[in-house]
Structure formats: structure tokens, C-alpha cells
Amino acid sequence: MTFDRELRFGDCDPSGIAYFPAYLNILNGVVEEFWAVIGFPWPGLIVVRRIGVPTVHLTCDFSRPSMFGDLLTFDLRVCRIGRASLHLTHVVSGPDGMRWRARQIVAATSLATHHAIPWPEDIRDALLAHLHADEGAQVTPA
Amino acid sequence: MTFDRELRFGDCDPSGIAYFPAYLNILNGVVEEFWAVIGFPWPGLIVVRRIGVPTVHLTCDFSRPSMFGDLLTFDLRVCRIGRASLHLTHVVSGPDGMRWRARQIVAATSLATHHAIPWPEDIRDALLAHLHADEGAQVTPA
Amino acid sequence: MTFDRELRFGDCDPSGIAYFPAYLNILNGVVEEFWAVIGFPWPGLIVVRRIGVPTVHLTCDFSRPSMFGDLLTFDLRVCRIGRASLHLTHVVSGPDGMRWRARQIVAATSLATHHAIPWPEDIRDALLAHLHADEGAQVTPA
Amino acid sequence: MTFDRELRFGDCDPSGIAYFPAYLNILNGVVEEFWAVIGFPWPGLIVVRRIGVPTVHLTCDFSRPSMFGDLLTFDLRVCRIGRASLHLTHVVSGPDGMRWRARQIVAATSLATHHAIPWPEDIRDALLAHLHADEGAQVTPA
């Protein structure tokens, strides 16, 4: 699943290139859009069902800088579904190839207790339908 | 070396806890202050000497949520100095213990070319003086 | 000229509604897109020609709150072109009507000196072509 | 009442000066600190009492640019207390004088309904104790 984003002036820093916290703000918006695409827009998930999906782990490698005005493609893959976790990989590319990539783990969380909860069945089914079909994909039985 | 920060309302999200890109914005400010403390404030480094220190790698583990008004202590350690790189570890704690931690690698970079350059000798000396003295600390000969 | 934007989770605060500094970050991106549409994308303007367009005045009225997931339309009008200034009005609406509006004045600025400069003729012509045709529109002779 | 802030690298943009939405993020943090100083820290106000203080009007004049590393002083004055509103004026200065100023109106709001509510008496009393004593200060009877 891919998402296009244009890097904005306000996402860049005085050295002229993308400010990495701004990159992660954009990434979070991409993940938000992913949830809407698979049928679980965050207003319903977070406000109505009171389920959060906070990031518990993040690894990023920034290979080449980007500057404002650059058109970037965010490639998102579901690579593992745990009982209460979701592993995503992100590859962010410009016209000339990869700029950075990330691995992210989010955890299903009750917003009442801020503790992890198992994925509800409907959400788990939607995530399974988008599990990336390669040798590394993994699923923990519910 | 430790730095105190208060988590602000604007750093938190609608689920009521710290928004992780905002956390990383705060972390970047802590690193900026570290450079000032060791004698190389960024305006001189970046604007005058045209040396940038972009983040090339970042790993974060978020253990427990924080909310606005929380007083956080950022503990920063220099754990490895490479020819053109600097490895930092960060532990962020509230009154009740660790909230999150990170490993970060930054690279000395010419802002003229956006390519890595060896640390200038004066900067390397300042970093060496703050290398954390434990079994894991490593230095690559200049 | 209108621009559609979806309000993101990361643009909202713990009270559940849009955080006004995030709103202004989005507004700045809309203005950046306006400059690209009229033929002067900011990388060329700022990096190549070394002309900045900083905001010197801003007035905002926030009428009704927005929340993440809301689809907003930003309506931008050029209402006055001064010798070195540009007056814009913004009306931001949701499906149910206006959420907020703003008046913004930006100034053509040399990035070498950070002083105001008259609009170069090609930029002034492009702005004139988009001057909103109503009784309030004003132009200062170059 | 004054608050010191250092402008950070991440608050500045590729033209090298403060990014105005970042300025307003800092301003919001100053206002948050003001509420703590007068005895109503936001966690208690917003989370416990469910009273928000969203900005309903903002006027800013940016006179001179600031760059990262600049030490800024935020001077905040309570200049008018309405039935459900609070008018603040802000003057932000560097060592060489004023950089920008703002007038801000916030409204007491029920977070249950997102509608304006009269200031509760204890809050109103605290605000009154900090009303700036000059000819322009105004109070609307409760």
C-alpha cells in the first residue's frame, strides 16, 4: 500500500533538509490513512471504541536527505500481527530511490486503562487481509 | 548528562498521552543543548562552520505513556565516537521510572555537499571528553 | 482558490480538537501550494532566488472546533498587493460551514539581508493575475 | 509575568529563522505555564474538571526575525477578563528589543459540550489577582 506526500517547507530545518521529527509526524499521518483504508478510521476507533494504537517501538534509518518540495512515496507493509501488536515496515522513496525506512510496532491499547488488549476480532480480520505475503510475514494465533 | 523537560499540552495527542513525533522534537532539543554544553552551540556549528549533525539512525522503545504536565528527565550518554559518527543513548524517565529510551546515531556532514566528513579535531576532542566510561564505550581512531 | 486538507490525529490536542499551532502549520502548507500553483514553487524562490516570504502579520478567528478526521476546505484569496507585501484572506470550512478564518500579510524579503524588497516584476505579475476581483481588492503601484 | 525560552533548531525553517507556527507552539506552552503559576495547572483543569481554554482569537505582528539559539523573553499580561473570556497580550523580546507581539483571546469551554461557560469563581478570582493594572484593563461583572 503506497501513499504520496509532498515534503513541506515547514517540515524542513535550517540546514535545508527534512527535520526527522517532522518526517515521523508525516509517517503517523500515513499510518492514520492506512487504518481508514482498511475500514477503521481513527475517530471511530479512538473516540467511539476507545482503542488506541500507540507506537511502542520504532527503528529508522535515514539514508539520504530530502528537501521541501520533494515528492515522496510511503510504502507501508503489514509484516506481523501479534495478539495485541502490529508490525509495520515503511519504505520512503523519492524519484531517485530510497530516502529512509522504518520498522514500527504499535500495540492495541485500552484508552481507559492504557494497557494492551488483544485485537478485537473485526480489526484482526482486517489486518490479516492486508498481511504482506512474503516469507517473513508472521501471525500469532488470537 | 541530564536535562529536565516538562511535557506540554501541545506535545500530547487526542488519546491524552505524548505524541511520539513531539517526543522526538523534544529529544532533538536536548541534543542541541548537549552540543552547547560541550562547547559547540549549533548556530556556530551549522551557520558559521557549515557542519550539520543529521540523525542517520534511531531506535526507540516506548515503555510507558506520559501525559502533559509530566516532568521528565532526559539522560544522554555518548557511547561511541566513530570517524564521522556519534552514537548516543537516551533514557527518559518520570518520577516513577523509565518512560522510553532511544539509541541515536548522528553523522558529521558538510552542509555544502550533504556528505559525511570526519569530525574536526576540536569537536572530536570535546566528544571524547564526554565519552561515557563503561565497558561498551568505543572510539574509532581519527 | 481552494485546497482540501484532512485534519490529522497529530494535529489535535488532548482536549480532542485541532491544536491551533498545528492549524497554522497546515495553513502555511496551503500558502506554499498556492505559490506553486501560480508558478513560483518555494524551492526555486527561496533556495535559488533567495527570496523569502515571511509572515509579518496574522489575525485569526476560530469559530468552531474541528477534530481529527475532519475534511476541511481552505479558501485563499489575494486581496491586496503592496510594493513588498501581499495580503491574503483565508476561510477554512467543514461540511457544516466555516470553522475559522485568517488574514495574513507576508513580505517579500531578501534572504541575504532579511530586509523587505519590492516584488520582482515576474512575481508581481503572477500575483496580479490572481488578485481577487471584488470591491476591497487593492494594488499599490510598483 | 515573564517566561524565558530558547529558540530551538527545530523551531526554525529552511530560511534560517523562526517558523511562525513553531513560535505559536512555544507561546501556547508559555500560556500553559502561566496557568500553572496562577494555581490552575492544565492537567487538573482539563482532565479533572473538564474545562478547556481554547484560543478563539489571535492577532500577531512579527517585527524582526529570530534564529535558533536566540534567548527570548515572553512577557504575558492579563488585560481583560470577560464572563467566559480572557484577553492576554504577549510581547516577545530578544536582547535587542521586541521581536513580535500578540493579542490572544481564550474562552472557558466545557469539554463535554465544547460550548463556552462562565469562569468558575475560583478561576475568576485567580485571574483577577493577575489583571494588569493599567488604564486599558477591563473586567466584565461575573
Confidence of residue A140 (pLDDT cuts 50, 70, 90): confident
- Which chain B residues contact residue A54 at CB under 8 A? 15, 17, 20, 62, 65
Distance from CA of B134 to the nearest CA of D (A): 31
Query: How high is the mean pLDDT of chain B?
Result: 95
Distance from CA of B128 to the nearest CA of D (A): 24
User: Is B43 in CB contact (< 8 Å) with chain D?
Assistant: yes
pLDDT over 70 percentage in chain A: 97
Confidence of residue A142 (pLDDT cuts 50, 70, 90): low
Structure letter (DSSP) for residue A142: -
D93-96 long-range Cβ contacts below 8 angstroms, 24+ apart: D94/D64, D94/D66, D94/D70, D95/D71, D96/D64
Find chains touching chain D: ≥3 CB pairs under 8 Å. Answer: A, B, C
Distance from CA of D110 to the nearest CA of B (A): 16
Confidence of residue B89 (pLDDT cuts 50, 70, 90): very high
Tell me the average pLDDT across A30-47.
97
Are B52 and A15 in contact (CB < 8 Å)? Answer: yes
Q: What confidence score (pLDDT) does residue C3 get?
A: 98
Q: What confidence score (pLDDT) does residue C18 get?
A: 97
Confidence of residue A135 (pLDDT cuts 50, 70, 90): low
Q: What confidence score (pLDDT) does residue C132 get?
A: 84
With H, G, I as helix, E, B as strand and everything else as coil, classify residue A93: strand
Task: List, in order, residues 6 or more apart from B67 with CB less than 8 Å away.
Answer: B7, B12, B16, B17, B18, C14, D43, D47
Distance from CA of C88 to the nearest CA of D (A): 15
Tell me the average pLDDT across D88-97.
97
Contact D100, D60 (CB under 8 A): yes
Q: Does B61 have pLDDT greater than 90?
A: yes
Residues B123-140 pLDDT 10s:
999 999 999 877 567 788
Instruction: State phi, psi for A84 to the nearest 5 degrees.
Output: -130, 10
- D107, with CB counted inside 10 A (0-12, 13-18, 19+), is buried
Closest residue in A to D10 (Cα–Cα) = A13
**Residue B40: HSE in the Cβ half-sphere, 13 Å Cα cutoff:** 22
Are A65 and B114 in contact (CB < 8 Å)? Answer: yes
User: Is A44 in CB contact (< 8 Å) with chain B?
Assistant: no
Are D20 and C16 in contact (CB < 8 Å)? Answer: no
Tell me the average pLDDT across C107-120.
94
Distance from CA of B83 to the nearest CA of D (A): 25
Q: Residue B68 is nearest to which of C12, C14, C67, comparing CB atoms?
A: C14
Contact A16, C47 (CB under 8 A): yes
Q: Residue D114 corresponds to which amino acid? A: H
Q: Does D22 have pLDDT greater than 70?
A: yes
Q: Residue A43 is nearest to which of C25, C46, C69, comparing CB atoms?
A: C69
The sign of the CA dihedral A59, A62, A63, A69 is positive
Confidence of residue A20 (pLDDT cuts 50, 70, 90): very high
Distance from CA of D102 to the nearest CA of C (A): 9
Are D61 and C56 in contact (CB < 8 Å)? Answer: yes
Structure letter (DSSP) for residue A10: G
Are A14 and B46 in contact (CB < 8 Å)? Answer: yes
Are A8 and C32 in contact (CB < 8 Å)? Answer: yes
- Which chain B residues contact residue C21 at CB under 8 A? 10
Are D22 and C22 in contact (CB < 8 Å)? Answer: no
Task: Enter the ipTM.
Answer: 0.94
Are D54 and C16 in contact (CB < 8 Å)? Answer: no
User: Is C76 in CB contact (< 8 Å) with chain D?
Assistant: no
Q: Does A49 have pLDDT greater than 90?
A: yes
Q: Residue C9 is nearest to which of B9, B14, B16, comparing CB atoms?
A: B14
CB pairs under 8 A between B and D: 44
Are A41 and C69 in contact (CB < 8 Å)? Answer: yes
Contact A80, A139 (CB under 8 A): yes
CB pairs under 8 A between A and C: 44
Confidence of residue A96 (pLDDT cuts 50, 70, 90): very high
Say which residue the cell 517473513 belongs to.
A136
